[in-house]
Amino acid sequence: MIDLAKYYFRCHQVFSDLFPSKEASIDGICRDILYDVMGEFWKMGHMIEEGYWENHKDDMAVVLGIVPIEYKLSAPNARTSAERLATIKDKAAALSYKFAFLQGPHDKFGRASNFAHNCLRVACQKIFYCKGSKTFRNHNLFREAVLCMAVLYIASYIKGVLDAYKTNGTVDDKVPPSKNEEDFWQMHVKMDQVLADTYHGPKLTSMLKSWAREA
């Protein structure tokens, strides 16, 4: 049931409102979605298990697990805790600067690969495609390619996680949404520029189609 509710809410975000306010979400769309899903389950004769809500992990925990691995946010040679944190902070700061974390390896012509880092690919595939039957893989648009708006949504969350590492050398399970929204719109402009480029635009489109095929 919780997967279905999350699926409906992610649809609302991707297609209607990527950054709904907490107050409006809790008292508005979240409540409406939960009531609809609960009604569907009760009609089918299913009961809601006590404690299930509290024990179910957020899909975004996937990103928290992927970021330190894909961006190598570790300090194996550090001799002290302070040295380890300082090294991780420096790595995260370099990745956050001018959205460097979005870049993948240069292509065979030595040209930049925008929005192509493996962390983006893994996160998009795990969150939007690998959760059983109630995922975006069943949506017509997502069958053809990972949507640009979905990539930006994941990218803004990754940026928030990196900012937390940059500040603290570690990360909590919550990222300030206001910062995510600001970064989202800056990256939105960057993506529009990439898509408008005669070389990088088709390359990005082709890559997002391949991500969907691989998932």
Q: Is the pLDDT of residue 27 over 50?
A: no
Q: What is the pLDDT of residues 55-100, one digit of tens each?
A: 334 556 788 889 999 999 999 999 999 999 999 999 999 999 999 9
The token pair that represents 111 in the structure block: 């040209």
Q: What is the pLDDT of residues 114-154, one digit of tens each?
A: 999 999 999 999 888 876 645 777 777 788 899 998 899 88
Cα-based distances in Å from 99 to 69, 170, 183, 197:
18, 19, 9, 18
Give the side-chain half-sphere CA count within 13 A for 90: 7
The single-letter code of the amino acid at 137 is R
Q: Percentage of residues in the chain with pLDDT exceeding 70?
A: 67
Burial zone of 162 (CB within 10 Å; 0-12 exposed, 13-18 middle, 19+ buried):
buried
How many of the other CB atoms lie within 10 Å of CB of 128?
26
Q: How confident is the model at residue 177 (pLDDT cuts 50, 70, 90)?
A: low
Q: How confident is the model at residue 215 (pLDDT cuts 50, 70, 90)?
A: confident
Residue-level pLDDT at 11: 60
Residue-level pLDDT at 43: 45
Domain regions of the chain by residue span: 1-56, 58-214
Closest Cα to residue 96, out of 189, 194, 183, 193?
183
- Asked if 161 and 174 count as a contact pair (C-beta separation under 8 A), the reply is no
When the pLDDT of each residue in the chain is averaged and rounded to a whole number, the result is 78
Residue-level pLDDT at 7: 54
pTM of the model: 0.72
- Asked if 29 and 20 count as a contact pair (C-beta separation under 8 A), the reply is yes
Burial zone of 52 (CB within 10 Å; 0-12 exposed, 13-18 middle, 19+ buried):
exposed
Q: How far apart are CA 119 and CA 191, in angstroms?
A: 17
Q: How far apart are CA 82 and CA 80, in angstroms?
A: 5
- The residue with greater pLDDT, 202 or 17, is 202
Residue-level pLDDT at 70: 96
